Amino acid sequence: MELDRGPSPRVAWLSAFAVALVGCGPTFNVAGPPPEPGPVAKTQLPPRPTTNGRHVIVGEMCPQGAGGRPAVAPLVMRGVQWTDNPKEIGYTVERGSTPRFVVFGIDGKPAGVFDTIGLADIGLSQPIASGAYVGAGPCSADAGNAQRVDDPRCLATLGGCGIAVSELARPDDPPETPVLQTGTACLAGDTLAVDIDADGAFEAFPIGQVLDGIRGPTAEWTAAPAQAAPCTGSFQLYDVRLDRKPDAGKAADPKSTVMLDVLAVVDLDGDSRKELILALRFPTVRSIVVYSPLESAQRLELVGEGTSFPR
């Protein structure tokens, strides 16, 4: 995984005052790494075979991603198995199997659609899909009367970008807009509360266990035995601070801090259970990870990880 992501892209409609409105998120302690941890490395995942269900590619759409033009960074694919292999995903996009991405706003509703033209070379190590975007910004929410309003905190945290999902299709099929069921998440004490299987009971995933030290996301994230306490959910959450508890008598190392954002709670594969899409902001790299309840709503498994546009 490349550690130096380079300078952040400019987002034309990111207003200067948005940064001033960003508040401090909650802080959680995570297990400490070895005394001298190595660089953040991408987790090597075993093959995750799939059965029936929807085949999709998950990515991040930035309105200014390709030299000031809209672009999607495709990151994780569910085909015959879950994969985050860039070459395999890039080939799928290049052959025309992702004609249209639906782009979600901060309220979990579609903000717009991105129609794929092909791949663009903008100097990154992963494939980038170029195309045309029609709709409101990914940081917008429904304001009624067919209007959507941008959220300053989303603009400041996500740079105006948002999650995009395309259902795989044959290259000669006309583009269709995917219809996906979304959900919400909230912080309940030291857990992330999500109703994974829509049964009315919120699973409680301990925030401090989402990282395996500070090297990367944990391969399995198991819910606590008790249900989560009631809290008000939202499609996205920002700036959840994960601090490593310092050794006795030592000050906390700011380089060990990781920030977590919930980017989407959405049923990607059509099995009525929600996947979680998170951003983990390490000191030198930002990873987007996808967790899926492959066998149980009580256990989320890491099915893909990728790096999106530079920040």
Q: Quote the tokens at residue 76.
A: 């994780």
What was the pLDDT predicted at 9?
40
**Domain limits of the chain?**
24-306
Segments in 127-203 forming alpha helices (H):
152-158
What was the pLDDT predicted at 155?
97
**Going by DSSP bridges, is the β-strand pair 237-244/27-30 parallel, antiparallel, or unpaired?**
parallel
- Which of 103, 99, 118 has the alpha carbon at shortest distance from 58? 103
Residue 131's contacts (CB-CB under 8 Å, 6 or more residues apart) are 70, 71, 72, 114, 115, 116, 117, 118
Interatomic CA distance for residues 90 and 126, integer angstroms: 8
What was the pLDDT predicted at 38?
43
What was the pLDDT predicted at 35?
44
What was the pLDDT predicted at 41?
55
What was the pLDDT predicted at 45?
55
What was the pLDDT predicted at 2?
41
Interatomic CA distance for residues 31 and 206, integer angstroms: 12
User: What is the b/e burial string over 57-93, where b = at least 16 CB atoms within 10 angstroms of the residue's CB?
Assistant: bbbbbbbbbbeeebbbbbbbbbeeebbbebeebbebb
What was the pLDDT predicted at 28?
66
Q: Can you list the positions of beta strands (E) in the chain?
A: 27-30, 48-49, 56-66, 69-78, 81-83, 100-104, 110-120, 128-135, 140-144, 147-150, 162-167, 185-188, 191-194, 203-206, 220-222, 237-244, 258-266, 275-281, 286-296, 299-306
What was the pLDDT predicted at 123?
84
- Which of 29, 101, 108 has the alpha carbon at shortest distance from 71? 101
Q: Is 234 left (phi over 0), alpha (psi -120 to 50) or beta?
A: beta
Instruction: Write the single-letter amino acid at 55.
Output: H
Rg of the chain (C-alpha set):
19
Per-residue model confidence as pLDDT tens for the chain (311 residues): 443 444 444 333 434 333 334 445 676 666 554 444 444 555 655 554 455 799 999 999 999 999 899 999 999 999 989 999 999 999 999 999 999 999 999 999 999 999 999 999 888 888 999 999 999 999 999 999 989 999 999 999 999 999 999 999 998 888 999 999 999 999 999 999 999 999 999 999 999 999 987 578 999 999 999 888 889 999 999 999 998 776 677 777 777 889 999 999 999 999 999 999 999 999 889 999 999 999 999 999 999 999 989 87
The pair phi, psi for residue 307, each rounded to 5°, is -110, 135
**Tens digit of pLDDT for each residue in 210-224?**
998 757 899 999 999
What was the pLDDT predicted at 202?
94
What was the pLDDT predicted at 29?
65
**Tens digit of pLDDT for each residue in 96-115?**
999 999 999 999 999 999 99
CA 42 to chain centre: 15
